[in-house]
Amino acid sequence: MEDQNISELIARAKEDQDAFGELYELYVDRIYNYVYYRTGDVAEAEDLTAKIFMRAMKHIPNYDDRGLPFSAWLYRIARNLVANWHRDRSRRRIISLDDIAHWRVGGESPEIHTQLVEDRDALLAAVRRLPADRQELLIFKFVDQLSNAEIGEIMGRSEGAIKSLYHRTLLSLRSEVSRQEEKNKSRQRRWPFGNRKQDASED
């Protein structure tokens, strides 16, 4: 749908629940995917997504179009509710290997694309060690395919700050994966012949 049509639909949705229903259909899959990746639980993701759109419907009369996608406003609501969910449960989302396998990596990140294909286990371990905001940044980039400007609007940071954080995150991931690979190679060099006890029992 073109931006003009979206703007018209948002204007109608401020007074018309049917129009809001159309917005729901347009954005529900993207918001659900974000929530699922942040919680890792289908039932919780469904419940939180419903709450997000209920809150959006309540507050849409106050929505102010500042030239950014409507989805950025929805993501901000989602981010706040997911943060509350984590605080209430004192838990942190652990991204799974299957999650990473479905990330869509664009041409801007060939190094991450290579690692996704060849070193998924090592990359997963590195991602899990990242601070929560960096994990969230990767989800916005590789799952939701958002621009730096959109991510900045959602996370309350400037576009330049997001670009810098993204760059530092990629460097950190690359360094961590390389360190882990060297550690594994070193372990293999120390004992390249398998399990000593097992070998001795087979003599």
Which single residue is written with the structure tokens 């958002």? 146
What's the pLDDT at 24?
A: 96
Q: Which of 71, 89, 107 is the last residue of a domain?
A: 89
pLDDT of residue 203: 47
116 and 173 both lie in a single domain: yes
For residues 77 and 153, membership in a common domain is answered with no
The pLDDT value recorded for residue 159 is 93
Which CATH number does the domain housing residue 51 bear? 1.10.1740.10
pTM given for the model: 0.67
- Asked whether residue 11 falls in the same domain as residue 73, the answer is yes
Question: How confident is the model at residue 13, as a pLDDT?
Answer: 94
Q: Is the domain of 184 the same as that of 108?
A: yes
What CATH number has the domain bearing residue 122?
1.10.10.10
Are residues 102 and 85 part of one domain? no
Counting other chains too, the contacts that 45-52 makes at CB distance below 8 Å and 24 or more residues apart are 48/78, 48/81, 48/82, 48/85, 49/78, 51/81, 52/77, 52/78, 52/81
Q: Would you say residue 198 lies in a domain?
A: no
d(CA 203, CA 189): 23
Those residues of the chain that have pLDDT short of 50 are 1-2, 97, 193, 196-203
Tokens (6 digits) for 103 = 């990330």
In a domain, 165, yes or no: yes
- Which of 68, 89, 110 represents a domain boundary (last residue)? 89
Query: What's the domain range around 112?
Result: 97-190
Give the whole-angstrom CA distance, residue 35 versus residue 21: 20
